[in-house]
Structure 1
Amino acid sequence: MNAAATQSLFDPLFAQSPDPWHFEGSWYEARKRGLLLASLPRLRYASAFEPGCAGGFVSEHLARRCDRLLAWDGAARAVAHAARRLQNQPGAQAAHGWVPDQWPEGAFDLIVLGELLYYLDEPGIERLAQRCRATLLASAHGATLAACHWLHPFEGFPLGGARVHDLLQEHLQIPRIAQWRDADFCLDVWSTDPQSVAQREGRRL
């Protein structure tokens, strides 16, 4: 799916509501977001990239952990909602863009892929993984990628969460340092530094 198709699919949803998937007030979403944030192996990052940011519900929390955050979405209305959510976050920016056909300039030591990869085909996921790998390896030691996706099937998108994470694992070729599965979603974290948090702090294991 390209940026134009994305905008035609999602802009009508965001025209009706800034929260078409009912993130606000959902314990499921709050819990998932909390697990994602807690899984990041570093307290702070210099520069984060979040493609497919939707209305910015995760973005506003990521911004508190980063000196700079670039949040992208292929739907213009989603970008507008995310920009309003980020307006009081120094260093955070929402902009229009759709991966993997487009990719931002600059270095990023954190990339977050949330509920995004179903909308790409397998070659698109491979290309995205290659872009992520190149960016992370060119960044500071300990650069991180976190991905979180719904596990249940949904109509029109045959690649489910488990499959897209398998494809990331295959093509990233970076150590996976954390993994979570429950009945509803999968969460995986990869890092160019395979040390655990306890090891970096010099704690006895």
Structure 2
Amino acid sequence: MVSFDPRTAVTAPEAWEALEQWSGVPAFDEQPDELIVFSAHPDDETLGVGGLLARAAGAGIPARVVVAAACDDGRLDELDAALASLGLPTTPAAQPVVPLGLPDGALKHHTADLRAAIAEILDAPSEARNRLVLAPWTGDRHGDHRTLGREVVAAARERGLRILLYPVWLWQWGTPADVPWRRVREVVLDAGGRSSKRTALAAFASQLRTSQNPGGVLEPGFVARAADGREVVIEPPEPADQHFERMHHERDDPWRVRTRWYERRRRAVLAASLPRERYGRAVELGCSIGETTLVLADRCDELIAVDGSGSAVEAAAERLRDRPNVVVERMRVPQEWPVAADHGTDLVIVSELAYYLAEDEWDAVIDRIVGSLVPGGEVLLCHWTGDSDDFAQSGEAAHDRFRERSRLRPAVVHRDEEFVLEVLR
């Protein structure tokens, strides 16, 4: 993932408003009984859905704002002032703001504490039958936004709660191609709602970039677009396991791995990067329909290929039916693992998989892999360098974390504009 710069606008505000895609975006017209808005930092909620909060306040709908990252009392005071401008009651009895106090800029390193706090908020008794949960969009460029959004989505779904996401930095650092248009809904604001949002945004004086406050991260154009531009919510991506199962069930080659040049080239580079001509036992995590498995089968005495999708496993098993040295199993890692404690493996392949694992899940997979390797064993990692709003981390970040945690040494490194591949020993 490319690092984000709060002062650089990739797409101008007027360019956003002129897009023809808006003609196909439906209005958000739901009427919940209660709003629970998760915010990574004070001001995210106002930038993203300040108009929706004002609309809820006008309709008498109770709302709470849960701020994940720690901040000083001054920023919380600014948030109280902003919420008051939006019409929300800010008395202690109303408890409109719930600060979690987790480390700013490092939520991904504190997912256990974050999950526990989210669960406590969502499990609190409520008389509302139709609660709506809002969280930062998982495609936003800020790591805290992505982590918080992903964890709130998972927790809300576990409890059967309605969950929607709101973008913040998309408007500053994104392009129209980044927007999942089919999942976007527009919060249509009247003049009063826009006025309230504009006033609320002005409350965050410590964050506004002005001549008196040159260190502020909120550029005037960015804030003006938030006040006067379109406000949207986004349906979260389909859960990964359901998404992959549906894709494999509906199409025999959902990613066109057999025909796309990217995929064929990646497999060729992968095979050429393996330092040894032959391996004893190997494990492939996330085998999909078995195209890479077929290449690996020629280089291994025994190959165990696993995937979480039943349809993918069925297709891969059919593809490899004439290879007696290959076993294909349905398995969800890291909860399940293909290598028994008393059996080691010479090679583990992780390709196009790590993006979908949160940091603690990836850490667990790394530990499992390292614990499975025989002396001199190797790990091949290969991941696309692009980005998607259903990624828990980028491919580059996953590789960095693997090297840091495993302490294995690189034997082969290939990096180009499309993917990164490493063999670690």
Tell me the number of residue pairs that the alignment of Structure 1 and Structure 2 aligns.
186
Match of 1:134 in 2: 371
User: 1:104-136 deviations in whole A, cap 9, x for unaligned?
Assistant: 223211100000001110011111111111111
Look up the SS of the partner of 2:316 in the other structure: helix
Cα RMSD after superposing both structures? 1.5
1:18 paired residue among 252, 264, 270 = 252
Q: Counterparts of 1:6 and 1:74 in 2: how far apart (Å)?
A: 10
What is the 5 A alignment of 1:175-194? 175-191=409-425
Task: Note the C-alpha offset of 1:59.
Answer: 0.3
Structure 1 stretch 112-121 or stretch 150-159: which is displaced more? 150-159
Please tell me the residue identity of whatever aligns with 1:162.
E
Tell me the amino acid that sits aligned with residue 275 of structure 2. P
For the 8 Å contact 2:273–2:412, the answer to whether it is kept is yes
Q: Which has the larger radius of gyration?
A: 2
For structure 1, which segment, 49-58 or 26-35, has the greater mean C-alpha deviation from structure 2 after superposition?
26-35
Is residue 2:348 matched to residue 1:111?
yes
1:65 counterpart residue number:
299
On the 8 A contact 2:271/2:296 being kept in 1, the answer is yes
Q: Which structure is richer in relative contact order (CA contacts within 8 A, separation 6 or more)?
A: 1
In structure 2, how many angstroms separate the alpha carbons of the residues matched to 1:156 and 1:108? 31
Matched ranges for 1:52-201 at <5 A: 52-104=286-338, 105=340, 106-136=343-373, 139=374, 141-191=375-425
Which 4+ residue blocks in structure 1 deviate beyond 2 angstroms? Answer: none
Amino acid at match of 1:160: S
- Secondary structure at the aligned position of 1:69 is classed as strand
Q: Partner of 1:202 in structure 2?
A: none
Name the SS of the counterpart of 2:345 in structure 1. coil
Q: Judge which range, 22-31 or 57-66, deviates more.
A: 22-31
- With the length of structure 1 as denominator, give the TM-score of the two structures: 0.87
Q: Unmatched 5+ residue regions in structure 1? A: 192-205
Summarize the Cα distance change of 1:7–1:157 in structure 2 as closer, same or farther, 3 Å threshold.
closer
Gaps of 5+ in 2: 1-149, 155-238
1:29 aligned to 263, 274, 281, which one?
263
Partner of 1:46: 280
Separation of aligned partners in 2, 1:129 and 1:156: 21
User: How far apart, CA to CA, are the structure 1 residues paired with 2:329 and 2:267?
Assistant: 21
Identity among equivalent pairs (%): 35
1:10 match: secondary structure: helix
Task: Tell me the SS of whatever aligns to 1:55.
Answer: coil
